[in-house]
Amino acid sequence: MKWCKESTLEKRLRGRKDNNGSKDDMGLEATLEVWEINTFYALSHVLFKVSLRVQKGELVCLLGRNGAGKTTTLRSIIGLTPPRSGNIRFNGRELVGKRPYQIVRMGMGYVPGDRRIFPDLTVRENLEVGRRLRGTAAEWTLERVYELFPSLKKLDKQLGNHLSGGEQQMLAIARSLIGSPELLLLDEPSEGLAPLLVKVLEDQVLKLREEGISILLAEQNVKSALRVSDRGYIIDKGRIFFQGTAKDLRENEEARRHLIV
Amino acid sequence: MILGLAVIVVLPFVVGISWVLLVTELAILVLYAMAYNLTMGVTGMLSFGHGGLFGAGAYILVIAMIKGDIAMPYALLAAPILTALITFVIGWLCVRLTGIYFAILTLAFGQLIWATIWKMRTITGGDDGLTGLQIPSVMASPTNQYFCILAIVMLAVLSIKIIVDSPFGFTLKTIRENQTRAQCIGINVKRYQLLAFTASGLFTGLAGALFAILMRGAFVEFATVARAFEPLFAGILGGMHVFWGPAFGAGMLLSLDTFIGAYTEYWPLVAGGTLILLVLFLPEGIIGRIASIRKARAQRLNQSSA
Amino acid sequence: MGLDAILFQVLTGVGKGMNLFLLASGLSLIYGVLNVVNFAHATFYLIAAYICYTITGLFPNGYWLALILAPIGAALLGGICERLFSRLYDKEHYTQIMLAWGLILVFGDLMKLTWGSEGKMVPTPDVLAGGVPLLGGNFPITYIFVIGVAAAIGIALYVVLYRTKVGIDVRAAAADAEMTSALGVPVDKLYIIVFMVACWLAGVGGVIATLLSPIYLGGDLEIILAAFIIVIIGGMGSILGSLVGSLIYGVVFALGILVLPRFALVFLYILMVLVLIFRPYGLLGRPR
Amino acid sequence: MDLDILKVKSLSKAFGKLQAVDRVSFTVQPGVVKSVIGPNGAGKTTLFNLITGYLRADTGEITFKGMNITNLPPHELNRKGLARSFQIVNIFPRFTVFENVQAAVISRMGKSSSIVTSAKNVGREEAFQILDRVGLSEQAGYIAGTLSHGDQRIMEIAIALGGRPELLLLDEPTAGMAPEETYATVALIKRLVSEFGLSILVVEHDMDVVFSISETIVVLHQGGMLAQGKPEEVRQNEMVQRVYLGEEITREKGQ
């Protein structure tokens, strides 16, 4: 294994121009297309020409260390931190300039990394906030959601702040799911979960994909993410450095360099 | 500056008595606005209790002179000092809270002072107020009164200026800008907030006492919430982050009141409208806006030359 | 003084308190959801009271019409004002308070222009005139009516907030507006609704208050201070807190008048100061 | 005689059920850079907030220059010679760059309560010296909030230097920086140690930065210490690699 020496800082400086996002020419029907977005927090430039695609029914992961730009990418897509330039298309419709609630109503679901369960609302009420009638066959009802997460059903009347970390994570996913999304953005769902729960979570994520939901999964937990994903991107310092199938990502040295210490 | 002083000296000899009285009132309001600004503009603490403090200053002076038979110079000294003591006690309780809770606690204390004045008829005269203040003959004529009050106000404003420009004042501004950061460069934030609040109370008490002299008595209206809003209004009009902003605002406020008030009884409509427009479109205030335009230009020049 | 007389006084206090609850709950709701301190809230109350005066003057038995129309008027006005406040949501609280102060001045003058500066009385509808014998006294029916209306609205408010989708969205937005919007809820529209409902509540409060006391200019400032005392004691942002605070306010005031007539209000200020010092977020509120 | 400038002994902090920091112990020697690393939620920021007095420790002891400083308030720690920067830019945005640093210098000089002189020239020379040292003297007159993100973060270090600290705690000093800025910051940190003899404790995500500046590294995982040692040792550490790839590991309790 090769490790970064100080000189890599300089290398990074030089290497900056070579990396112009990555275009996908598979020609498949894309649910989500992110094209060279640049995102800022106030004055600080966080995302640099980030591009990625999610195909219909695909489970794509976005891997990176702390602070690499994963969360910002998802927030840019859902409209909470709109990019300053670039395009985001969802089923062919442009998202940049749209408000978060509009984007959600177009069929996207967002599960934030810190879960953000409403503490004073019961489990049922938390789900109620996410519920929307879309009139499609693929609509998720309360019953269907409880079927997928049976343990939530028992907690129906519990307040959000009385849930354990794992229960909160399930609720956060369920809360987005009940809005019947076609695409789900999952931000580090495995964070803070015990190993056993991570496995449970992986199964649930796979089940969601079987239901036909496309998923963009931001993860720091590489092992877990690669167990479920079809394809992935590696982000570091706000730039996409690598993309490929799960197998590529697992085996590529260069890819590992951006993920490990 | 010399020109300004000359205008001040010559003024009472060229204009009528009503104008002299008006300018005297203006001077007191300027002091009040600047005293208040020590809390709000300089330290960044929103207070609604200054009406009560203004009233306290006025009543202390009048009660001392009428009920205690104390000579005016001593009463004029006692009023701000006692008001500062009251402010210190109130502030000691208030600085534990932050933001809107601080504001509402000061409001509660202001109202408590107001209610006490209103209800303690035997001492304060209640609704009727306390009238019949005997002013020493040196100060009795409007012109002499004008000179005395203006001198005191100028001295007080100079003291405020020295405080604001001193390292102490600079420290207060650091607290206004960023409390957490101020704390971790070694500043005991609560202590300085209390000091600033007390100093503000001192000058507010003085302004109240001077106002009582001008009005020849003290009245419940001196201590109302509306009175507490006046200097905040002045600060927003003129800009509270620039030294002369509140003074300018006080001037505008009084002119609105006097001149528009002369044409129409509906001047609050104009004042309220002005306030709404300012808050929405010019939150820095008029003088504040001018100052920041200048600053920005200076930086641009600086950058282009660098 | 007999126990009956004291109980009678307590009941009167409950009546006053319930009337104020309509106002305080709206103030609390606006703060809890929008994080805006609406210092001008009682102005909507006063405007509704004046509209009620006009309507009752135009139509015989117009009171019931006024009870419907005046609060709607207050709500529409509130909707317009919300658009102004919305420009200051992310600004410091004092800017919102100054905007409110400007609105108080402007509306105060407009009311003076429209209705003049003398106090106004709204005739009590026949149905509500008189009293019922109670505890050795004659308890006015108007008070019973006020308690009834306020209680009914309080229950309705509770049902909406806890049993309907909109109510749950409102509570969610109060806790985390950004996440709520990321679940597909148009939060800015929700804000307008909340502001309008709060002003509607204030309007109802104003209309029923005309049964208890005359309408006069500047009354809004007195009432807003009462409402502030209530929400501070009960806890800003808590509806149940406003109810408890309102009852405490009404009862302490009514009993205070019996004990030390001139210092009834002072008691309340002292109570508020104590609450702020020892439990700044109020009896039923929570720190934020 | 105590040679360590900072000594953290068995420090713990829990939020409800979550053990955010679990019996962490380490020392910082004078004149070196020590880094704290670890995946998300490892407890790095909590650890920082404990040391700098923003949080109260449940148990454990923190010693600074031989003094027990556990749970002292932030402003007192600053007076003792311990300064910090923040993860999110934390400055006086409407002051000029010069005033930002001057504020810290005035406070350190103990002149915060003085009202006899004008503030304008108090601590002026020292503030300019510091700006010169970090390379911001040309921007001295700019409004701080208008600086680039990288310059703002460097100015934060300058503010911390105004307190003439012996120990500097930097919370992700290069977060959100462009590569050029990162490079400059790394150079600055190295210079502060070599030329001015400061001791520095850093929390940092950028591993290139961590390995290029640190004398020793502490690795946290789920609140506890996973490993500690020289950069080479940490790199070779099997456990550390596995943690960063998201493998399950069970930390030995009570090491």
A94: number of Cβ within 10 Å: 11
Is B247 within the bounds of a domain? Answer: no
D131 in Cβ contact with D140 (< 8 Å): yes
**Strand, coil or helix: what is C112?**
helix
Q: Which residues of C touch B283 (CB under 8 A)?
A: 91, 95
**What average pLDDT score do residues D131-159 get?**
89
Mutation pick from A14, A41, A44, A222 vs chain D, by most beta carbons of D within 10 Å, is: A44
Sign of the alpha-carbon dihedral angle for B49, B52, B54, B56 = negative
Per CATH, the number for A8-107+182-259 is: 3.40.50.300
Residue of D nearest to A67 (CA): D205
**What average pLDDT score do residues D37-49 get?**
84
D172 and D249, same structural domain?
Answer: yes
Q: Which residue has the higher pLDDT, D168 or A196?
A: D168
| Model pLDDT, residue D252 | 45
Report the distance separating Cα A48 and Cα B134, nearest Å.
76
Q: Going by DSSP bridges, is the β-strand pair A183-187/A214-219 parallel, antiparallel, or unpaired?
A: parallel
Q: What is the amino acid identity at position A120? A: D
A206-244 residue pLDDT tens: 999 998 999 999 998 888 899 999 999 999 888 998 899
Q: Which token pair is B304?
A: 């282009």
Query: Residue B128 forms beta bridges with which residues?
Result: none
Sign of the alpha-carbon dihedral angle for C136, C137, C143, C144 = positive
D61 and D173, same structural domain?
Answer: yes
For residue D60, give the DSSP letter. E
Nearest to C66 by CA among C208, C219, C220: C208
Phi/psi of residue A9, nearest 5 degrees = -60, -45
Phi-psi region of A86 (alpha: psi -120 to 50; beta: other; left: phi over 0): left
D175 and D72, same structural domain?
Answer: yes
C259-280 residue pLDDT tens: 887 778 888 888 988 898 888 8
Nearest CA of chain A to the CA of C200: how many Å? 25
pLDDT above 80: residue A124: yes
D145 and D70, same structural domain?
Answer: no
| Model pLDDT, residue B29 | 96
B10: number of Cβ within 10 Å: 10
Mean of per-residue pLDDT scores for chain A: 84
Q: How far apart are the first and last CA of chain B?
A: 34
Of D108, D114, D118, the CB nearest to B186: D108
D121 and D36, same structural domain?
Answer: no
Instruction: Report the percentage of chain C scoring pLDDT > 70.
Output: 99
Is D64 within the bounds of a domain? Answer: yes
B249 in Cβ contact with B26 (< 8 Å): no
Nearest to A185 by CA among A107, A110, A91: A110
Which single residue is written with the structure tokens 């919305």? C86
Is B300 within the bounds of a domain? Answer: no
Using alpha carbons only, give the angle B171, D142, D148 rounded to the nearest 5 degrees: 110
- The residues, any chain, with a CB within 8 Å of residue A170's CB and separated by 6 or more, are A149, A151, A152, A204
User: Of all helices (H) and strands (E), which one includes residue C263?
Assistant: none
| Model pLDDT, residue D254 | 37
- Sheet containing D67-68: give its strands across: D18-28, D6-15, D59-64, D67-68
Of B169, B299, B303, the CB nearest to D119: B169
Confidence of residue D17 (pLDDT cuts 50, 70, 90): confident
Is B254 within the bounds of a domain? Answer: no
Report the distance separating Cα D144 and Cα D115, nearest Å.
25
Question: Residue B56 sits in which domain range?
Answer: 2-223
Based on the structure, what is the number of domains in chain D? 2
Report the distance separating Cα C121 and Cα C209, nearest Å.
11
C256 in Cβ contact with C267 (< 8 Å): yes
Residue B112, chain C, CB below 8 Å: the answer is yes
Phi/psi of residue A195, nearest 5 degrees = -50, -40
Report the distance separating Cα D92 and Cα B187, nearest Å.
14
* Residues of chain D numbered 129-168 and touching chain A (CB < 8 Å): 148-149, 152
Q: What residue ranges in C62-166 does DSSP mark as E strands?
A: 131-134, 137-140
pLDDT above 80: residue A96: yes
A22-73 residue pLDDT tens: 334 444 578 999 999 999 887 678 899 999 999 999 999 999 887 788 999 9
Nearest to A95 by CA among A149, A35, A153, A146: A35
Based on the structure, what is the number of domains in chain B? 1
Is B265 within the bounds of a domain? Answer: no
Of D37, D212, D248, the CB nearest to A9: D212
Please list the residue range(s) of chain A that carry CATH number 3.40.50.300: 8-107+182-259
**Residue B139 buriedness (CB in 10 A; 0-12 / 13-18 / 19+):** middle
Q: List alpha helices for chain B, DSSP H.
A: 2-14, 17-37, 50-66, 72-94, 99-119, 121-124, 137-140, 142-165, 167-177, 179-184, 189-215, 225-238, 245-255, 261-263, 267-281, 286-305
**What average pLDDT score do residues C195-218 get?**
94
What's the predicted TM-score (pTM) here? 0.85
Confidence of residue D250 (pLDDT cuts 50, 70, 90): low
Q: List alpha helices for A149-194, DSSP H.
A: 150-154, 165-177
Of A65, A223, A237, the CB nearest to D247: A223
Report the distance separating Cα C229 and Cα C267, nearest Å.
11
D84-111 residue pLDDT tens: 888 777 899 989 999 999 999 999 888 8
Q: D145, D164, D183 — which closes off a domain?
A: D164
D176 and D152, same structural domain?
Answer: no
pLDDT above 90: residue C241: yes
Q: Which token pair is B37?
A: 């600004």
Q: Which residues of B touch D138 (CB under 8 A)?
A: 306
D160 and D189, same structural domain?
Answer: no
**What average pLDDT score do residues D134-162 get?**
89
Report the distance separating Cα C11 and Cα C6, nearest Å.
9
Residue C189, chain B, CB below 8 Å: the answer is no
DSSP secondary structure of A1-29: -----THHHHHHHHHGGG---------PP
DSSP secondary structure of B135-197: PPHHHHSHHHHHHHHHHHHHHHHHHHHHHHHSHHHHHHHHHHH-HHHHHHTT--HHHHHHHHH
User: Of all helices (H) and strands (E), which one includes residue C279?
Assistant: none
Q: D164, D186, D220 — which closes off a domain?
A: D164
Q: D146, D164, D182 — which closes off a domain?
A: D164
pLDDT above 90: residue D246: no
Query: How far from D85 is each of A226, B224, C58, D171, CA to CA, in Å?
Result: 36, 45, 69, 6
**Residue C90 buriedness (CB in 10 A; 0-12 / 13-18 / 19+):** exposed
Question: Residue D60 sits in which domain range?
Answer: 1-81+166-255
**Strand, coil or helix: what is D156?**
helix
Nearest CA of chain B to the CA of C283: how many Å? 14
- The residues, any chain, with a CB within 8 Å of residue D226's CB and separated by 6 or more, are D38, D219, D220, D239, D240, D243, D249, D251
Mutation pick from D79, D82, D92 vs chain B, by most beta carbons of B within 10 Å, is: D92
Q: Which residue has the higher pLDDT, D71 or B89?
A: B89
Chain-centre distance for alpha carbon C234:
13
Is B169 within the bounds of a domain? Answer: yes
Q: Which residue has the higher pLDDT, C94 or D100?
A: D100
D193 and D227, same structural domain?
Answer: yes
For residue D251, give the DSSP letter. P
| Model pLDDT, residue A138 | 66
D140 and D178, same structural domain?
Answer: no
D171 and D110, same structural domain?
Answer: no
Report the distance separating Cα D150 and Cα D185, nearest Å.
9
Is B304 within the bounds of a domain? Answer: no
Of D17, D183, D235, the CB nearest to A9: D183
Is D86 within the bounds of a domain? Answer: no
Nearest to B224 by CA among B94, B107, B61: B107
Q: How far apart are the first and last CA of chain C?
A: 45
**What average pLDDT score do residues C49-77 get?**
93
Mutation pick from B37, B97, B111 vs chain C, by most beta carbons of C within 10 Å, is: B111
Report the distance separating Cα A208 and Cα A59, nearest Å.
10
Q: Which residues of D touch B283 (CB under 8 A)?
A: none
D107 and D152, same structural domain?
Answer: yes
**Residue A13 buriedness (CB in 10 A; 0-12 / 13-18 / 19+):** middle
Confidence of residue A16 (pLDDT cuts 50, 70, 90): very low
pLDDT in tens, chain B (306 residues): 788 888 888 888 888 888 899 999 999 999 999 999 999 999 999 999 999 999 999 999 999 999 998 999 999 999 999 999 999 999 999 998 888 889 888 988 998 899 889 888 888 888 888 988 888 888 888 899 999 999 999 999 999 999 999 999 999 999 999 998 898 888 999 999 999 999 999 999 999 999 999 999 999 999 988 889 899 989 988 999 999 999 999 998 898 888 877 777 777 888 889 889 999 998 888 888 888 888 778 777 766 665
A117 in Cβ contact with C182 (< 8 Å): no
